[in-house]
Structure 1
Amino acid sequence: MKILDQYILRRFLYNFFSSFFILIVIFIFQGIWLFIDDLAGKGLGMVIIGKFIFYFIPTLVDKVLPLTVLLSSILTFGTFAENYEFAAMKASGISLQRGMRSLIVFVLFLGLVTFFFANDVIPKSEQKMFNLRRNIAKVKPAAAITEGVFSDFEGTGQGMNIKVDKKYGEQDRFLDNVIIHKKTDQNINNTVIKAKAGELISSEESDIIQLVLKDGNYYEEIVKKDAQEKRKQPFAKSNFDTYTINIDISELNDQDLEEDQNITTNKMKNVGRLIKDIDSLRENNLEKVTAFSKNVVNRMGAFPVKAPIDTTQQKLELIKAKDTIQRDSIETIDQFVSGLEQWEQIQVMKKALNEVSSIINTVDSKKQELQSRYKFYNSHILSLHQKYALALSCIILFFVGAPLGAIIRKGGLGLPMVVAIILFLTYYFIGVFAGNYAKEGNIHPAIGAWLPTMIMLPLGISLTRRATADKGLVGFGHFIDRIKSLFKKKEKEAEDQ
């Protein structure tokens, strides 16, 4: 490697690692605020918190690395241009592309490393962080109770759902407006307990946590074995000033915080697993849609005639026959209804209306289920393409930042930082909006993953061409020349006339 290539690469690496360290620290502090309720005041040791942050860092690579490449390339080439080092290179016959040669090799290698991170490291890190959060909630029951929603307490010997409006006090031990659904052995909620306040009392020496409820009501649906008694639907209600529930956590005290669970989302899967799951999800969705379509057709009493595969004449005959059948059936229905008594006509109409309403309600409920299924399916396709798009985005953003730094001719953390943040926010928000549209099925998931990168690609080509030709960031010269030529052409036409 020549001395010039070593010098350019050394300067770029210095800016690259400095920017990466600064940005990763900023994003870590920003991310910690998202999980502050899960970590703060739970009695967790520094080792557990350190592991959580360690697992959290790789999940930031998809945000930090593209911004780092963009910022470091602007800083490096902006400093070169500001100190007239580029002018010296060009005077020596060294072009911009020649000066970028060593960095191009490095960025291509960085793209491969980024894909390895996206495919192997980030999914494992997501799973480790998810399992750690889940196991923390098991060991620290107060952490398992989320404000405003029902939280499940399973595996404690007493299945129940708990909802609170607010947690406060030391280790969130005090609760406001508690609602508890207790489950039977058959996992049925037949007991509801409501209390205005509650308190979690625990001791390190005991395997029992006491949930003390204050000023509440107890409702229970009594299940009788006698069928006659069941029809009466017996129900019990009582008031209490203080009600204590003992929760056995002996099993939870032996919980391993590093234990892996068999719960995976699209973010926890690599390329091979995503491709396999995408195929199975597509086949499963098609089976669901086909089965539901057949069910609706059978309920409507419609039996569509299969179209022949043969000649056009057969198709024409089928269309004529179909029209004749429909016309005859309509006449038959009209004749059938007109032959009924008025009260019978009303019953037939009500029956038909109820059937149609029932089918519409079934379709609406199934529509929501299918939408959630296809949203889950689209998220897998989106994650698959995002792994490839992330690797390519680092390469493309380098070709955006390097010529941009040579054009603006400014080093330091002033203007280059502002330009880099504006470009990255544009890239990031386009990716967020495109990803959301892709999950909802408004655009293809592949387009949602590649759209921000494809938008930056022509920008990188344009900036590289302008920097190579020593043009400014925005040039209006050719527009002005074109306008002048039009005026001259009109003047010449006027003189000829």
Structure 2
Amino acid sequence: RILRPMIAATLIVTAFSFVMSSYVVPWSNLKLYSLLYDIQRLKPTFTLKPGHFNTAIDHYVIRIEDKDVRTDMLYRVMIYDHTSGQGNDRFVVADSGTMINDPYGRYMNMTLYHGVSYEETFENRGRPNQVEGYVRLYYDTLFYSFDLAGFALERTEEAAFSSHQYMLNLSELQAAVDSIDGVKGEVLGIFAKEVRKSIKVDTSFLSLAVYDGKDAPGSILSQFQKRKRKTILEGALNNSRRIQSLTAKAVDILDKEDRAKRERKIELHMKYALPMACMVFLFIGAPFGSIIRRGGAGVPIIVSIIFYLAFNVLMIQGKKMAIENVLSVWTGVWLPVLVMAPLALFLTFESVTTLNLFSVNTFWTLWRAFLRLLLWLNPLYWLWKIPAFQRFAIRFLGPIIRRLFPNR
């Protein structure tokens, strides 16, 4: 009667968990992983550190000697301009400068004060990349605009991630499993076709003459001329190598497809196994609240943590063994539920009966029964019940015992 409200609440939680894991979690995984992928490709924020050469902006190398954080003023600025693709053909130095980003973060505008710009000029005729001269420009103010497109977050199409098992709902997972079976059938069909093509025997060059002799030839090759034997052997060796290569490639493809199929079937079973775990934990936790009556809330919390850790270890190991094909997919995914469910039934039965199996007297009774079982399994126990064995033991062991313990 006490469990009825909790069972009703757990059923609601189980249904909610099933819906979330089947439809909402795949959609959120698609959004999350696509965003994480784009963030990983994103360049870090552009910052200038005094005394360091910064190469974050494409085709530019920037160095500053000092920086005033309060006024955003830069001192002793050096810029290596590689936009022409000719190396260090342009070099700009400035006594000071300022750096301001545009409101949209697309460009960085730098204003340099009191400096010199050095630039190499190249010939267009004759030898390419031949330096023709140098240009030195003194300036009071020079403006630079840097493109920060590489620092902007560019979103990838979500369709690129939609085939992963974490992004598929129930129907899509089942369709993915069926499609993998179709791919495996196509691979086997192509492999069989190529093998038949490789082992097909061309008999058009054989003579129609009938061999007339008393003894059969020792080898088929002996029926051919010597100059053709090498060609035949090389052709057979090449066909064998080709079949071996095709077999290895087909096995590799089938192994990958089998692994992909197991991964998707694991994810399909997980959408049912995790909601079912809610019911299992209900019938583990609720009976413990009535069985363990001492120690306040500390003991139930510790026991709950132990069961939770055990469940996670079983789930992780079961999934790993299912992926590696050590266990079947069904067994690997449902392993924690299969282990915890009998314990949940036992605890529920204990809580609704008067057996009081968790009392000290019960454990002491079980321990004595275990010791009696060990004694019953001992062969010496049954030998001692034989009178002849007792007389033999007393006659031969008595003097030895009296020598060891003379005062007894």
TM-score of the aligned structures, taking structure 2 as reference length: 0.56
Aligned to 1:159: none
2:37 alignment partner AA: R
1:448 alignment partner AA: G
Aligned to 1:371: 255
Q: Contact conserved, 1:131 with 1:260, CA < 8 A, in 2?
A: yes
2:198 alignment partner AA: R
Aligned to 2:43: 141
Which of residues 230, 245, 250 in structure 2 aligns to 1:361?
245
Aligned to 2:343: 459
- Counterparts of 1:389-468 in structure 2, within 5 Å, are 389-410=273-294, 414-467=298-351, 468=353
Which of residues 336, 347, 358 in structure 2 aligns to 1:472?
358
Cα distance change, pair 346–472 in 1 and its aligned pair in 2 (3 A): farther
Q: Which has the larger radius of gyration?
A: 2
C-alpha separation in 1, matches of 2:54 and 2:298: 48
Which of residues 195, 200, 205 in structure 2 aligns to 1:296?
195
Q: CA deviation at 1:133?
A: 1.6
Aligned to 2:174: 275
The reply to whether residue 112 of structure 1 matches residue 11 of structure 2 is no
Determine which structure has greater relative contact order: mean sequence separation of CA pairs < 8 Å that are 6+ residues apart, divided by chain length.
1
- For residues 385-435 of structure 1, the C-alpha deviation after alignment (integer angstroms, 9 at most, x for no partner) is 100000001111221222234444455664444433332222212222221
- Counterparts of 1:193-232 in structure 2, within 5 Å, are 204-205=101-102
Q: CA deviation at 1:445?
A: 1.8
**Tell me, which stretches of 5 or more residues in structure 2 are unaligned?**
57-98, 109-145, 202-214, 388-408
Cα distance change, pair 296–207 in 1 and its aligned pair in 2 (3 A): farther
- For residues 49-102 of structure 1, the C-alpha deviation after alignment (integer angstroms, 9 at most, x for no partner) is xxxxxxxxxxxxxxxxxxxxxxxxxxxxxxxxxxxxxxxxxxxxxxxxx33222
Q: Contact conserved, 2:43 with 2:151, CA < 8 A, in 1?
A: no
Aligned to 2:5: 102
**Tell me, which stretches of 5 or more residues in structure 1 are unaligned?**
1-97, 144-168, 176-201, 210-246, 303-330
Cα distance change, pair 463–443 in 1 and its aligned pair in 2 (3 A): same
Cα distance change, pair 472–254 in 1 and its aligned pair in 2 (3 A): closer
Q: Contact conserved, 1:119 with 1:271, CA < 8 A, in 2?
A: yes
Aligned to 1:74: none
Q: CA deviation at 1:255?
A: 3.9
C-alpha separation in 1, matches of 2:333 and 2:320: 10
Q: Secondary structure at 2:197's aligned position in 1?
A: helix
- For residues 207-244 of structure 1, the C-alpha deviation after alignment (integer angstroms, 9 at most, x for no partner) is 589xxxxxxxxxxxxxxxxxxxxxxxxxxxxxxxxxxx
Q: CA deviation at 1:450?
A: 1.1
Cα distance change, pair 124–299 in 1 and its aligned pair in 2 (3 A): same
Query: % of aligned pairs identical?
Result: 23
C-alpha separation in 1, matches of 2:216 and 2:151: 70
Q: Secondary structure at 1:470's aligned position in 2?
A: coil
Aligned to 1:287: 186
TM-score of the aligned structures, taking structure 1 as reference length: 0.47
The reply to whether residue 266 of structure 1 matches residue 152 of structure 2 is no
Q: Contact conserved, 2:44 with 2:151, CA < 8 A, in 1?
A: no
Q: Secondary structure at 2:219's aligned position in 1?
A: helix
Q: Contact conserved, 1:114 with 1:391, CA < 8 A, in 2?
A: yes
C-alpha separation in 1, matches of 2:276 and 2:260: 25
C-alpha separation in 2, matches of 1:411 and 1:479: 24
Cα distance change, pair 333–449 in 1 and its aligned pair in 2 (3 A): farther
Number of equivalenced pairs: 281
1:112 alignment partner AA: A
2:17 alignment partner AA: T
2:365 alignment partner AA: G
Aligned to 1:50: none
C-alpha separation in 2, matches of 1:421 and 1:371: 38
Cα distance change, pair 136–487 in 1 and its aligned pair in 2 (3 A): closer
1:132 alignment partner AA: L
Richer in helix (by share): 1
C-alpha separation in 2, matches of 1:460 and 1:332: 77
Cα distance change, pair 483–137 in 1 and its aligned pair in 2 (3 A): closer
C-alpha separation in 2, matches of 1:352 and 1:450: 51
Q: Give the aligned CA root-mean-square deviation in angstroms.
A: 4.3
